[in-house]
Amino acid sequence: MRTFASLFFAALALTAFTAVSQTPAAPQAPLAPPQVLVAQTPPMGWNSWNYFAGKVTDKNIRDSADQLVATGMKDAGYVYVNIDDTWEGERDASGVLHTNAKFPDMKALADYVHSKGLKIGIYSSPGPKTCGGYAGSLGHEEQDAQLYASWGIDYLKYDLCSFIGDVLEKRAPNDKAEQMRIMIAAYDKMNKALKATGRPIVFSFCQYGWDAVWEWAPSVGGNLWRSTGDITPDWDRIYAIVSQQEGLEAYAGPGHWNDPDMLEVGNGKLSLAENRTHFSMWAMLAAPLLAGNDLPNMKPEIKAILTNRDVIAIDQDRLGKQGARVYSDGEVDVWARHLAGGALAIAVVNAGSDRYATHPFHLNLRKLGLAGQQTAKDLWTGKTMELTEKMPLELASHDVLLVRVDAPKTAK
Give the interface with ligand GLA as residue ranges (CB under 6 A): 49, 84-85, 130-132, 159, 206, 230
Shortest distance, position 97 Cβ to ligand GLA, whole Å: 16
Is the N-terminal amide bond of 360 cis, ω within 30° of 0?
A: yes
Neighbour order of strands in the sheet with 344-350: 324-329, 332-338, 344-350, 400-405, 374-378, 384-387
Could you confirm whether 406 is annotated as catalytic?
A: no
Q: 183 or 344, CB closer to ligand GLA?
A: 183
Paired residues of 329 in beta bridges: 332
Shortest distance, position 121 Cβ to ligand GLA, whole Å: 11
Q: 103 or 380, CB closer to ligand GLA?
A: 103
Shortest distance, position 207 Cβ to ligand GLA, whole Å: 9
Q: Please name the helix (run of DSSP H) or strand (run of DSSP E) that holds residue 26, with its range, or none.
A: none
Shortest distance, position 86 Cβ to ligand GLA, whole Å: 7
| Residue 184 phi, psi dihedral angles, 5° rounding | -60, -40
DSSP 8-state secondary structure symbol assigned to residue 370: B
Paired residues of 253 in beta bridges: 256
Catalytic residue among 63, 66, 211, 230: 230
Coil, helix or strand for 204?
A: strand
Give the residue from 409, 406, 348 showing the smallest Cα distance to 377: 406
Shortest distance, position 202 Cβ to ligand GLA, whole Å: 15
Shortest distance, position 157 Cβ to ligand GLA, whole Å: 7
Length of the chain: 412
Q: Please name the helix (run of DSSP H) or strand (run of DSSP E) that holds residue 156, with its range, or none.
A: strand 155-159
Distance CA 286, CA 263 (A): 13
**8 Å CB contact between 159 and 124:** yes
Q: 77 or 136, CB closer to ligand GLA?
A: 136
Q: 241 or 345, CB closer to ligand GLA?
A: 241
Shortest distance, position 154 Cβ to ligand GLA, whole Å: 18
Q: How far apart are the first and last CA of the chain?
A: 43
Distance CA 363, CA 154 (A): 43
Q: What angle do CA 208, 73, 120 make, to 5 degrees?
A: 55
Q: 248 or 339, CB closer to ligand GLA?
A: 248
Q: Please name the helix (run of DSSP H) or strand (run of DSSP E) that holds residue 39, with its range, or none.
A: none
Catalytic residue among 159, 261, 315, 399: 159
Could you confirm whether 154 is annotated as catalytic?
A: no
Coil, helix or strand for 40?
A: coil
Between the alpha carbon of residue 114 and those of residues 44, 148, 191, 358, the distances in Å are 15, 14, 23, 50
Q: 131 or 314, CB closer to ligand GLA?
A: 131
Q: 135 or 346, CB closer to ligand GLA?
A: 135
Active-site residue set: 159, 230
